[in-house]
Amino acid sequence: MAELILAPGKERSVMRRHPWIFAGSVAKLAGRSKPGDTVEVFTEHGKLMGRAAFSPASQIRARMWSFDPAESIDHGFFKRRVATSVARRATHPHLAGQDGLRLIHGESDGLPGVIADRYGQVVVLQLTSAGAEKWRDAIVAGLVQATGCTCVYERSDSDVRKLEGLEPCTGVIFGEMPEGPLVISENGVRMEVDVAGGHKTGFYLDQRDNRFLTGQLSAGRSVLNCFCYTAGFSLQALAGGATGVLSIDSSGPALETAQRNLALNPQLDASRAEWREADVFEALRSLRTEERKFDLIILDPPKFAPSAAHAQRAARAYKDINILGFRLLNPGGILTTYSCSGGIGLELFQQIVAGSAVDAGVDARIIHRLGAGPDHPVGLAVPEGEYLKGLVCQVD
């Protein structure tokens, strides 16, 4: 096993149990190691800190598998980690009975580069690091054993793999996909999931609890859902008693799926649903020209700032849509606004939303702060994992 020697002073983050070792923190690699191989991590003084996965193509040169110098990294290690991660979800009361669930959340579950989402009997696996790729078979075996699933489908097609020197990889890797559309039930609402071509692993599981809250806030209110994708927020709003829901997205295929989702729920009043295929920024301006007003507005845009380098440009986009959103609210109306951009922290996001309210000429207050659900935990040593942030603001 090769030895990765840390540069002077660079052991501090490892001592704090942060799993990433950047290229600039490495003094040298003693011995040979291929991408994904396990290396022993030593301080400059020869103290063994644990074992990590080596990734020569990435700026994150190694990711810690274990901070226990005595722990072996083998098939048994991954089966134990997978089983522990799955068991955490099984004992959480808020996750009971959910068809759609994140089973493994990367670094926060001690498995850097591993994402696994469950949709009924199908588990969708995403491997984004060289180390995760190296242990693919052990991870799949662990998932099958821990869940009893009938199919594991791989969606390792994110751009992050390029940074690791990895090619995209998709398709069934265990069992068989069920025939016909894959449908899950989320808090009483049925939704179609496209694991092969949908966003992320087929669905935005991180917004499950926030969609449910939207439904609770929607009773007797007119609702505008922007960047609606396949209408998760819209259907929960209808289920919660919204008087009407206008859903806007620039993707025609996404809106077609959204309308199929509505048809899957005959208990919902389809006459209260309105659809608009348009650029959301332009649509918001058009709605103001049309003098439309709403009681509840949902702004859940795509990732404007994938990294801190994009933060300034992203901040302008977030401010633009939030100004427009505030201006379209009726008195007493509610704006639920989100950012999934890792390059925009919670403090900056709140500053942007506050500035948007001022520019829109409204007085508003935060009544809820939101994030991902409990199946998307954030490791205390890895604050970078807290990518989703949301604010629910009510105007006078």
Positions annotated as catalytic residues are 340
Torsion region of 229: left, alpha or beta (phi above 0 gives left; psi -120 to 50 gives alpha): left
Packing angle of the helix pair 280-289, 311-327 (nearest 10 deg): 30
In the sheet with 151-156, reading across from the earlier edge strand, the strands are 100-105, 114-119, 122-127, 151-156, 169-175
Distance (Å, whole) CA 167 – CA 117: 21
Q: Are strands 3-6 and 20-22 parallel, antiparallel or unpaired?
A: unpaired
Give the Å distances, CA to CA, from 162 to 129, 157, 166.
9, 9, 5
Residues 269 and 248: beta-carbon distance below 8 Å: no
Q: Is 51 exposed, middle or buried (0-12, 13-18, 19+ CB in 10 A)?
A: buried
Distance (Å, whole) CA 325 – CA 298: 8
Q: What are the residues whose beta carbons fall under 8 Å from the beta carbon of 385, sequence distance 6 or more?
A: 105, 106, 107, 108, 377, 378, 379
Among 55, 35, 41, residue whose Cα is nearest residue 10: 41
Residues 112 and 53: beta-carbon distance below 8 Å: yes
Helix, strand, coil: what percent of the chain each, to 5?
35, 30, 35
Residues 41 and 6: beta-carbon distance below 8 Å: yes
Distance (Å, whole) CA 346 – CA 134: 35
Q: Are strands 20-22 and 26-30 parallel, antiparallel or unpaired?
A: unpaired
- Map tokens 């068809």 to a residue: 99
Distance (Å, whole) CA 337 – CA 167: 35
Q: What are the residues whose beta carbons fall under 8 Å from the beta carbon of 61, sequence distance 6 or more?
A: 4, 21, 22, 23, 25, 26, 54, 55
